[in-house]
Amino acid sequence: MRQTSITKPNRFKMKFNVSLLIAGLFCLSFFPSTRTTAQDATVIKAIADAAIEIGKSIDSSCDKKRPENGFTACKGGDCLPAKCISFRSRCDNGTCG
Amino acid sequence: MMKSPKTLQSKGSLRIQTPFFLFLLVSFACSEKRDVINDSAKEGLIQTTIDTVFVEPTQSSQLGTFYLKDDALFYVDNAYGIIEEFSIEGRSKGIKKRELDGPEELQGISELIPTKAGFIIRHDWGFYQYDSEWEYVGKSVFQSASTVSYEEMLDNPKGEYIEMYELLHHNPKTTEIADGHLVIKLDVEHPLFNAFTTRSYYRDSRVLGKVNPFNGMMVEMLGTRPDSYEEYEYIPFHVMLDYHWTSDNSIYVTYEADSLIYVYDTSWNLKDSFGEAGIGMNTDYVESQTLDVAFDVKYFNYARNREGFYKDIYVDEEEGLVFRTYRQGSDRQDLLDETGNPLRLQIYRNKKLMEDFSVPGRFRILGKVGERYVADGYYDEQNEKQGFYLLNLN
């Protein structure tokens, strides 16, 4: 008896909570993600524009020529990232002489 | 009435002494050293003092940089790859990030970029995004789309070819602007389009870039150098600049070889310019005409240590103040790097120079907390001491 009297309100609460959860998820589904909502519309547009630009870019671009870890070149004694066209000497082994 | 130590001892009040000594210990641990370095109080314009707040990082090589987000300071130790947070009083709030610790496998830390959502760590050309609790969110790598063929870019480089540009390595500054993009300083080292041998570089090369942090793509380039760079043939080690992008989208820029401060809008239309030359600057620049100069560090060191140039800029929009530092140049031949080249700070109010005074060699204003300006940084490798500065204006 005692157990039943406690269980009933809990079941009601659970149902209510589940309903709230479903309603919340339904509302959230209108938003792509919480992170996206925090971004300005300009950034979203920029992302879309950038994606188009990537699509436009040709296969022989400088960035696409770089290996997985990128090009590196000696700058002031340090081995640092560089573009494929850099006039500096390469240091793909990670060290500058 | 003060009690003598003897009186305290005679009462055997260890309970009184212990908090007192603890208070003293904490006071000394976070002590501020005040250097009154402004000699212009007699002019009655702005009185300035600089306090040094010493910190004791958990692990430090004294090779690092401070960054400011709101009222929290973050010490980035580049050698150890550690980020530790400090209060404005210099108290540690713990290590927040270590390299190679986490799913992102961060390989090192080049720069810390405070953002609205949290933080971005830049390592070389990688942007690692974190939320405000330092939880890893995502990573992108700097890149730019092609606008012309590879052969065209190689043989006929032009300033507008976005795919040629790199992140500037020397004195970098990456900031987040209101629309969520990152602003970076640009560099280009094309064999036929560079600061060492190409005059058109000085007229046409772009100086800032806007990067989408979520995919690393540079979406826009901004600006060129002012006409003052026509006075020189090739001064490759003074082509750098610094900027401050204000909340109303005005871009304040100081160029190393130009005494003026330029104010642009986001389309790089010139809105204003003002500024006065620094005191006692050696601007008799040694010019170069061959690419060989790029490979011999002695030319770089000479330009940075011996010659004078304008350096960093910070704008206090509320107070209408502009802060700009410059190095005077030095005759000393034993300087290890440019931090030994004397540095001075100019303060402008409503475009009028109010103050011009000497500051420590690595002084760079990061932001404002309360009424005080926080600046990087004090580093003493020999004595293993470090800290940040608080600039007070009266």
Q: What is the pLDDT of residues B141-155, one digit of tens each?
A: 999 988 999 899 999
Instruction: Look at residue B74 in the predicted model and tell me its pLDDT.
Output: 98
Instruction: Look at residue B323 in the predicted model and tell me its pLDDT.
Output: 98
Q: Residue A70: which pLDDT band, with cuts at 50, 70 and 90?
A: confident
Quote the minimal CA–CA distance from A25 to chain B in Å. Answer: 22
Instruction: Look at residue B204 in the predicted model and tell me its pLDDT.
Output: 98
B115: enclosing H helix or E strand: none
Instruction: Look at residue A84 in the predicted model and tell me its pLDDT.
Output: 87
Task: Give the residue numbers in B contacting A (CB under 8 Å), as ranges.
Answer: 116-117, 124-125, 137, 141-146, 149-151, 153-154, 163-167, 169-170, 178-181, 188-191, 194, 212, 214-215, 217, 219, 291, 294-295, 297, 300
Strand-pair partners of B33: B52
**pLDDT over 60 at A51, yes or no:** no
**pLDDT over 50 at A33, yes or no:** no
**Strands laid side by side in the B136-141 sheet:** B111-114, B118-123, B126-131, B136-141
Q: Residue B65: which pLDDT band, with cuts at 50, 70 and 90?
A: very high
Lowest mean pLDDT among A33-37, B130-134, B375-379: A33-37
Instruction: Compute the average pLDDT of residues A68-91.
Output: 85
Of B117, B144, B215, the CB nearest to A63: B144
Cβ B219–A49 below 8 Å, yes or no? yes
**pLDDT over 50 at B270, yes or no:** yes
Q: Are B285 and B238 in contact (CB under 8 A)?
A: yes
Candidates A83, A92, A96: best to mutate against B (most CBs of B within 10 A) is A83
Lowest mean pLDDT among A31-45, B41-55, B87-101, B146-160: A31-45
CATH number attached to the domain at B32-393: 2.120.10.30
Strand-pair partners of B242: B254
Rg (CA), chain B: 23
Instruction: Compute the average pLDDT of residues A57-76.
Output: 66
Instruction: Compute the average pLDDT of residues B186-205.
Output: 97
Instruction: Look at residue B352 in the predicted model and tell me its pLDDT.
Output: 96
Cβ B153–A62 below 8 Å, yes or no? yes
Of A35, A76, A87, the CB nearest to B189: A87
Supply B82's token pair. Answer: 């550690």
A63 or B367, which is more confident? Answer: B367
Q: Residue B33: which pLDDT band, with cuts at 50, 70 and 90?
A: low
Cβ A56–B145 below 8 Å, yes or no? yes
Instruction: Look at residue A64 in the predicted model and tell me its pLDDT.
Output: 63
B96-105 contact pairs (CB < 8 A, 24+): B96/B134, B97/B121, B97/B130, B97/B134, B102/B136, B103/B136, B104/B128, B104/B136, B104/B139
B209 or B63, which is more confident? Answer: B209
Q: How far apart are CA B353 and CA B255, in angstroms?
A: 17
Nearest one of B362, B367, B265, B271 to B311, comparing CA atoms: B362
Instruction: Look at residue A32 in the predicted model and tell me its pLDDT.
Output: 38
Instruction: Look at residue B105 in the predicted model and tell me its pLDDT.
Output: 87
B193 or A70, which is more confident? Answer: B193
Percent of chain A with pLDDT over 90: 3
Q: Residue B26: which pLDDT band, with cuts at 50, 70 and 90?
A: very low
Q: Are B113 and B122 in contact (CB under 8 A)?
A: yes
B155 burial class (0-12, 13-18, 19+ CB within 10 angstroms)?
exposed
Of A54, A87, A89, the CB nearest to B145: A54
Nearest one of B227, B221, B210, B231 to B262, comparing CA atoms: B227
**pLDDT over 90 at B233, yes or no:** yes
B269 burial class (0-12, 13-18, 19+ CB within 10 angstroms)?
exposed
Strand-pair partners of B347: B323, B355
Q: Residue A65: which pLDDT band, with cuts at 50, 70 and 90?
A: low
Of B142, B165, B214, the CB nearest to A47: B214
Mean of the per-residue pLDDT values for chain B? Answer: 89
**pLDDT over 60 at B42, yes or no:** no
Supply B352's token pair. Answer: 């009028």
Task: Give the residue numbers in A contacting B (CB under 8 Å), as ranges.
Answer: 35, 38-40, 42-43, 46-47, 49-51, 53-54, 56-58, 60-63, 65, 70, 73, 75-78, 80-83, 85-89
**Partners of residue B294 in chain A, C-beta under 8 Å:** 87-88
Q: Residue B3: which pLDDT band, with cuts at 50, 70 and 90?
A: very low
Instruction: Look at residue B285 in the predicted model and tell me its pLDDT.
Output: 97
Q: How far apart are CA A64 and CA B145, in angstroms?
A: 9
**Partners of residue B145 in chain A, C-beta under 8 Å:** 50, 53-54, 56-57, 61
Q: Residue B347: which pLDDT band, with cuts at 50, 70 and 90?
A: very high
Candidates B189, B205, B266, B293: best to mutate against A (most CBs of A within 10 A) is B189
Residues B292-338 have pLDDT tens digits of 999 888 999 999 999 999 999 999 999 999 999 999 999 998 888 99
**pLDDT over 90 at A42, yes or no:** no
**Partners of residue A54 in chain B, C-beta under 8 Å:** 145, 215, 217
Q: Residue B15: which pLDDT band, with cuts at 50, 70 and 90?
A: very low
Cα of B101 vs its chain's centroid, Å: 26
**pLDDT over 60 at B345, yes or no:** yes
**pLDDT over 90 at B2, yes or no:** no
